[in-house]
């Protein structure tokens, strides 16, 4: 296991890091550092251990909200997709383009009807 040195709120830590996990660990350190510095800079809490607990709770709360949002999205039944609207081949031109655009907009509206998100 590789060890990396990181800084959180100005203090150095030597952390064990699994092979290939350094980018994710450094991103996690940046999030923790940012959360702790935000609490410290607000000036209401001074003790490092209390700052760490509050930052952990804030990060855990954010994660729980994201997981709940993802779970509700996955549990929602997919919106029905209408069958493609046939466009006559003889209408090659503005009318055909308008019909295709209208059909595309209709399909996008149906896809977004569930939760308003594309993904």
Q: Is 55 exposed, middle or buried (0-12, 13-18, 19+ CB in 10 A)?
A: buried
Give per-residue pLDDT as tens, 38-83.
999 999 899 999 999 999 999 999 999 999 888 887 776 666 665 6
Count of structural domains, the chain: 2
Q: The domain containing residue 94 runs over which residues?
A: 78-113
- Residue 118 in any domain: the answer is no
- Total length of the chain: 119
Helix, strand, coil percentages in the chain from 3-state DSSP, rounded to 5? 55, 10, 30
Q: Are residues 36 and 56 in the same domain?
A: yes
Q: Are residues 37 and 62 in the same domain?
A: yes
Q: Are residues 83 and 52 in the same domain?
A: no
Q: Are residues 69 and 103 in the same domain?
A: no
The alpha carbon dihedral of 96, 101, 102, 103 has a sign of: positive
Contacts of 118 (CB under 8 A, 6+ apart): 111, 112
Q: Are residues 66 and 36 in the same domain?
A: yes
Q: Are residues 21 and 8 in the same domain?
A: yes
- Kindly report the pTM of this predicted structure: 0.59
Residue 22 has pLDDT above 60, yes or no: yes
- Residue 45 in any domain: the answer is yes
- Residue 119 in any domain: the answer is no
Q: Are residues 86 and 71 in the same domain?
A: no
Q: Are residues 50 and 11 in the same domain?
A: yes
- Residue 35 in any domain: the answer is yes
In this prediction, residue 118 carries a pLDDT of: 43
d(CA 74, CA 67): 10
d(CA 102, CA 110): 12
- Residue 91 in any domain: the answer is yes
Using an 8 Å Cβ cutoff, are 18 and 1 in contact? yes
């Amino acid at each position: 296991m590789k060890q990396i040195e990181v800084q959180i709120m100005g203090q150095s830590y030597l952390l064990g890091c699994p092979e290939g996990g350094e980018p994710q660990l450094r991103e996690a350190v940046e999030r923790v550092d940012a959360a702790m510095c935000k609490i410290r800079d607000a000036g209401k809490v001074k003790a490092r251990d209390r700052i760490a607990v509050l930052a952990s709770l804030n990060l855990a709360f954010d994660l729980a909200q994201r997981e709940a949002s993802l779970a509700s999205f996955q549990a929602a039944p997919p919106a029905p997709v209408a069958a493609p609207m046939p466009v006559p081949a003889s209408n090659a031109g503005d009318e055909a383009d308008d019909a295709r655009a209208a059909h595309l907009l209709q399909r996008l509206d149906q896809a977004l009807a569930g939760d308003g998100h594309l993904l």
